Structure 1
Amino acid sequence: MTEGSPHASHNRDDPIPEGLKIGARFTGYLLVIIAGITVAVFVALQIAQIVVPFLAGLVLSALLVPLSSFLQRHRWPKWLAVVTVWVVVLGLLAGLTLIITFQVRSEIPDIQKQVATSLSAAQQFLATQPFGLTEAKLNDLVSSSGQWLQDNAAGLGSGAAEVGTTAAHVVEGIFIILFVTLFALIDGRGIWTWVVHVWPKKAHARISAAGEAGWKTLSNFIRIQLVVAATDAIGIGVGALILGVPLAIPIATVVFLGAFIPFVGAIVGGAVAVGLALLFNGWVHGLLMLGIVIVVQQLESHVLQPWLTGPTVKIHPLAVILGVTAGAAVAGIAGAFFSVPVIATLNSMVHAARDYRVGKR
């Protein structure tokens, strides 16, 4: 462009620098994206009774669909592969429930005796200075608590009604999870094809590539978390058994479920194990249990996670921490649980869509 051209003169006379224009456009796009995310989160919170079970079904499908596909590749009929997967899952759940129930029932007498002993020791401790909570004061506290219950019976009744409503929502959620998983096993590819064709035709190939990348990442992530959770549960559960801590299998179950919430879940599961060891077996076993929890979690964090994750799930630890914190702040436990798989899946889908080239997939 020459010095005397009209465009050069116009650029010199423009009071707004080009960098500021670019920044304004970028800010506008960013605000639109933030607004879209805000609306999506708001709508999801309004229909959380549907969204949470749907996401749970999607996560479960990411674990079961590859297993069903594996059986079908080995000449199993589709219906038999689907039924086998369901039988295995339901059998494991039923077996775990029976084992936990049996252990809790068998250890209830010892637990009641230990709780009584601990309460007596706590009462004697609180009766000393500086607390000064004598038996008479404790009786007064119990009496005042009983009076409070009588005065607030109506409020407690409404709370019980809310519990009943929550139970109904839980049953509805279980049915949604079952149906989402069942249809994903039967016709997951057909469902995704229908979703792709909702969008404009020019975007079909790019969306399809993004979906395949996201599904692969989600499947890998769930399998990795399953192995990590099982390792944590077995290590801490076996340690609790060796130390004679009561409810070792329920402790392992809590650790297993907590491992699906990175960082936070490991801390909570380990705290439950250490707390029970401290309460029922004394401070020496509490310290030993703490050592077992630390060793297992260090092994998981520095050996197992890097080895299993590799290049398949690329999420920076800072993104994981911020995602779990934001998810918990917005949607509680469900938000903390689903935040990391959602971030990992969306990250993979965005990269696949950005890097997509026609004829090169």
Structure 2
Amino acid sequence: MSTSAPPPAGLPAARIVSVTTRTLWQAATIAVGIVTIAVVVLKTIDILLLIFTAIVVAEGIRPIVRRMESARIPRPLGIGIVYLLLFAIMGLFGWLLASPLVDQVTNFANNAPSYFAQVQQWLQQLQTFLSGNPNIASAVQTAEAEAGNFLTQVLVGLVNVPLNVATVLFSLVVVLTMAFFWLTAVDGLKPFILNVIGEDDQSRVNVLFEDLSRRLGGFVRGVLVNMSVIGVLSGLGMWALGVPYALLLGIFAGLTEVIPYLGPYFGGGAAVLVALLTVGPLKSLEVLAVYVIIQEIEGNVLVPVVMNRTAQINPFTVVVAVLIGGSLFGIAGSILAVPLAIVVTVVAERVVAPAIKKQISSTTEAEALVTTTTETATPTVPSNPMKM
């Protein structure tokens, strides 16, 4: 009767893993739960985006509210003061810029059909020039059709400006309301969460909350600084070059800064196209040069100083997050991709990485213990046994 050979000395015995019915049910339950969560997220994505936006805004103004609390101003009153200051600043800019901005938007809407006709003419000339290559000609024809669709969307957006403004204002009220409740309620939830998780992990979870608050708040403040600086530089640059719609282009360039790294390309591209359509190719080259300088200022001064030191997220992660968020959820996904990437990064650094490190350490210690036990239990065979 043959028996299997024992494992070599110093190596643990092989373990046989059995899959039971209970294990299969647990795996199926987890899979169904994941699918259910995914369906719920997709169905309520708009609401979830509003909630996440409110949390990001709340963490952005939290340091100001804390300073007011240190001056013995109650938190709800401090939040109200911050909101009043924000509305006052927005009202001041609206009062100063509303009239010229409306004039420029109206002028652009009136001239948009002629601009589109000019772009179509350029594309047709390019298609005729490249007619010898059917692939390139087909690509130009596709670009012409896409340009027409884009212009249609722009005109529809301009016509629906009142409705869009009302929608934005409603969303703003919802976000500020949820941010208010987040700032007033989250500190009451933190002790409950810390008591639930146990004493061993309380300090680590508390550090997690503080790190999330600090990085998200730094991101919001950094974005506001970038938007202000880039918007002012772009508007002044276009005004100095005599490009029409300088105020509109400056505001657009500032708004695109809400998407770090990639936003300036949208603002610069729009300015170059407007200059090409209105004041000629030579002036458009000057506009391009101005935006190259602005891009250098953003990439080498604003982002490293304002963003990286506060949000602590590397450019590669930002670009990947923006591309994925944009492909999944459009413009809203691109805007919220970076703060979501910050959350994922902090959780990975504070929770996942320590857990993996602890698991590896425990496995190593267990293997060392098994090895020591095996070596102790193995009898020592004499090298020169005596013959009888």
TM-score, reference length from structure 2: 0.65
Q: Distance in 2 between matches of 1:167 and 1:102?
A: 16
Q: Distance in 2 between matches of 1:122 and 1:6?
A: 81
Q: Distance in 2 between matches of 1:105 and 1:316?
A: 39
Q: Which of the residues 49, 54, 58 maps onto 1:52?
A: 49
Q: Are 2:268 and 2:288, in contact at CA under 8 Å, matched by a contact in 1?
A: yes
Q: Are 1:61 and 1:185, in contact at CA under 8 Å, matched by a contact in 2?
A: yes
State the Cα distance separating 1:87 from its structure 2 match: 0.8
Q: Which runs of 5+ in 1 are unaligned?
A: 17-32, 132-162, 357-361
State the Cα distance separating 1:189 from its structure 2 match: 1.6
Q: Which of the residues 258, 264, 273 maps onto 2:271?
A: 273
CA 188–52 in structure 1, closer or farther in 2 if over 3 Å, else same: same
CA 130–51 in structure 1, closer or farther in 2 if over 3 Å, else same: closer
Q: Which of the residues 227, 231, 255 maps onto 2:225?
A: 227
Does residue 88 of structure 2 align to residue 91 of structure 1?
yes
Q: Distance in 1 between matches of 2:313 and 2:123?
A: 48
Could you list the per-position Cα deviations for residues 295-349 of structure 1 after superposition, in whole angstroms to 9, with x for gaps in the alignment? 0111110223223345543323222222111111221111111111111232123
Q: Distance in 1 between matches of 2:253 and 2:318?
A: 19
Number of aligned positions between the proteins: 307
Q: Which of the residues 319, 322, 338 maps onto 2:320?
A: 322
CA 197–327 in structure 1, closer or farther in 2 if over 3 Å, else same: farther
CA 41–237 in structure 1, closer or farther in 2 if over 3 Å, else same: farther
Cross-structure match for 1:160? none
Q: Are 2:104 and 2:248, in contact at CA under 8 Å, matched by a contact in 1?
A: no
More divergent stretch after superposition (34-43 vs 211-220): 34-43
Higher Cα radius of gyration: 2
Cross-structure match for 2:24? none
State the Cα distance separating 1:193 from its structure 2 match: 3.8
Q: Distance in 1 between matches of 2:121 and 2:163?
A: 42
CA 40–261 in structure 1, closer or farther in 2 if over 3 Å, else same: farther
Pairing of 1:174-253 with structure 2 (within 5 A): 174-196=172-194, 199=197, 203-253=201-251
Cross-structure match for 2:345? 347
CA 121–173 in structure 1, closer or farther in 2 if over 3 Å, else same: closer
Could you list the per-position Cα deviations for residues 176-228 of structure 1 after superposition, in whole angstroms to 9, with x for gaps in the alignment? 31221111333442244445556566544432221111111111122222222
CA 37–98 in structure 1, closer or farther in 2 if over 3 Å, else same: farther
Cross-structure match for 2:66? 69
Cross-structure match for 1:150? none
Does residue 87 of structure 2 align to residue 105 of structure 1?
no
The alignment's C-alpha RMSD in Å is 4.1
State the Cα distance separating 1:255 from its structure 2 match: 1.6
CA 116–51 in structure 1, closer or farther in 2 if over 3 Å, else same: closer
Q: Distance in 1 between matches of 2:12 and 2:184?
A: 65
CA 274–34 in structure 1, closer or farther in 2 if over 3 Å, else same: farther
Cross-structure match for 2:256? 258
Q: Are 1:237 and 1:248, in contact at CA under 8 Å, matched by a contact in 2?
A: yes
Identity across matched positions, percent:
23
More divergent stretch after superposition (105-114 vs 215-224): 105-114
CA 99–164 in structure 1, closer or farther in 2 if over 3 Å, else same: closer
TM-score, reference length from structure 1: 0.69
Cross-structure match for 2:297? 299
CA 121–168 in structure 1, closer or farther in 2 if over 3 Å, else same: closer
Q: Are 1:103 and 1:247, in contact at CA under 8 Å, matched by a contact in 2?
A: no
